[in-house]
Amino acid sequence: MKILLIGAGTVGQGLLEILRDKAADLREKYHFQPVIVGIATRSRGTLHHPQGLDPAALLTALAQGDFTAYPETSGLERTHDVLTLIRTCGAEVMVEATHTNLDTAQPALDYCHAALDAGQHIVLANKGPIALAYHELREKAGQMGKQVRFEGTVMAGTPSLMLAMEALAGCTIHEARGILNGTTNYILTQMAQGMDYAQALAQAQALGYAEADPTADVGGWDAAGKVLILAAALYNQKMRLSDLSVTGITDITAADVAAAQAAGECYKLIAKITPTGGSVAPQRLPMTDPLAIVSGATNAITFNTDLMGDITLVGAGAGRLQTGFALLADLLAIQRQDRKP
Ligand code: HSE
């Protein structure tokens, strides 16, 4: 499978690490042989090699800052801009792992259109294009006979979307309700143990959970982006951020957290999606709620269904290997689909 990787930050490097470390296993168990024909970054350059780039050498070069240290080989091209690379690299799949922009989805949205126009499947960890433009991307992909996959946009590699869209196909999902932002759950958990808000946020940033601009996390907008993605994926709803009621955790005080604890409850930032709408807001939950015991940066989602009742999935919602795995899971799913007779 020829792959073009756009973005070599935490998530892109997570995928490269997995491809470096599990190459033999992936080949033997799944007949999966990825060839990274191109990689593009905003500030660290681009590389293209039709015979493939070496994940280990890419990671070594990135550890030194940029691609300058990537070994010179015959056929290696270093000068393409991103759109030229997408159009000319010959990839079968574009993996989009640049920073999320929930205002315009750019520049990732242009990359997605260019990749689909070039006949590539697209796999995203970037939430922007799916939250803001899922329907147009899916329509174009359908016309091109290609797939749009985005497991990593909600709960990283914890398979929330595959569970809802594939394993639960045939069930009606009345409602999805979850903890979809790791940063805020980490902060609320630490506050319940006595840490102050600013210190807990600083820790979440240091641990790599928070977005580049953490106001998206604490203001509830990162979770709201995931609500839009779930609304589109589960209910084919074309909602905008302005359609949602969104409240973050910035007004929750240490005294609020302590009062909840004294009443045997806890605060969680709850994202909710139904066929008719969505919301994000802090809520006090009784400890009998399965979401109440989900602590730290862990995420969880409860699907309320007609045939199966409630199903709750708990797992990582962010992280280098955890989100890198989501990309791998989507690549393997594309391979399974493409191989169907
Ligand atoms: N900033 C996000 C979080 C990362 O804290 O959950 C995953 O989308």
Sorted by where each starts, the structural domains of the chain and their CATH numbers stand as 2-157+320-339 (3.40.50.720), 172-315 (3.30.360.10)
**What is the rounded average pLDDT for all residues in the chain?**
96
Say what percent of the chain tops pLDDT 90.
94
Q: Which amino acid is at 252?
A: I
Quick one: which of 251, 259, 247, 319 has its CA closest to 284? Answer: 259
Token readout for 280 is 């994000």
* Residue 37 Cβ contacting ligand 1 at under 6 Å: no
Q: Which residues contact 312 (CB under 8 A, 6 or more apart)?
A: 290, 291, 300, 301, 302, 303
Contact call for residues 91 and 3 (beta carbons, < 8 A): yes
Alpha-carbon gap, residue 160 to 163, rounded angstroms: 5
Tens digits of per-residue pLDDT, 40-87? 998 899 999 999 999 999 999 999 999 999 999 999 999 889 999 999
Contact call for residues 75 and 49 (beta carbons, < 8 A): yes
Residue 209 pLDDT class (50, 70, 90 cuts): confident
For residues 19-25, give the mean pLDDT: 98
Residue 211 pLDDT class (50, 70, 90 cuts): confident
Q: Which residue minimizes the CA distance to atom 7 of ligand 1? A: 318
Question: Is pLDDT at 338 greater than 90 in this prediction?
Answer: no
- Identify whether 146 is a catalytic site residue: no
* β-bridge mates for residue 177, sequence order: 272, 302
Residue 339 pLDDT class (50, 70, 90 cuts): confident
**22, 127, 146, 226: the active-site residue:** 226
Torsion of CA 215, 218, 219, 221, to 10 degrees: 80
* Strands across the sheet containing 121-124: 46-53, 35-40, 2-6, 93-96, 121-124, 148-149
**Predicted local confidence at residue 70, as pLDDT:** 97
pTM above the 0.85 mark?
yes
Question: Is pLDDT at 341 greater than 70 in this prediction?
Answer: no
**Predicted local confidence at residue 79, as pLDDT:** 84
Token readout for 146 is 């290609």
* Residue 11 Cβ contacting ligand 1 at under 6 Å: no
Location of structure tokens 């196909």:
169
Q: Which residues contact 88 (CB under 8 A, 6 or more apart)?
A: 48, 80
Neighbour-count burial of 287, counting CB atoms closer than 10 A to its CB (0-12 exposed, 13-18 middle, 19+ buried): exposed
181 CA distance to ligand 1 middle (Å): 5
For residues 233-239, give the mean pLDDT: 95
**Predicted local confidence at residue 116, as pLDDT:** 98
Q: Which atom of ligand 1 is nearest to the CA of 209?
A: 5
Residue 296 pLDDT class (50, 70, 90 cuts): very high
Q: Which atom of ligand 1 is nearest to the CA of 226?
A: 8
Contact call for residues 190 and 184 (beta carbons, < 8 A): no
For residues 253-258, give the mean pLDDT: 93
Quick one: which of 176, 204, 189 has its CA closest to 268? Answer: 189
Residue 327 pLDDT class (50, 70, 90 cuts): very high
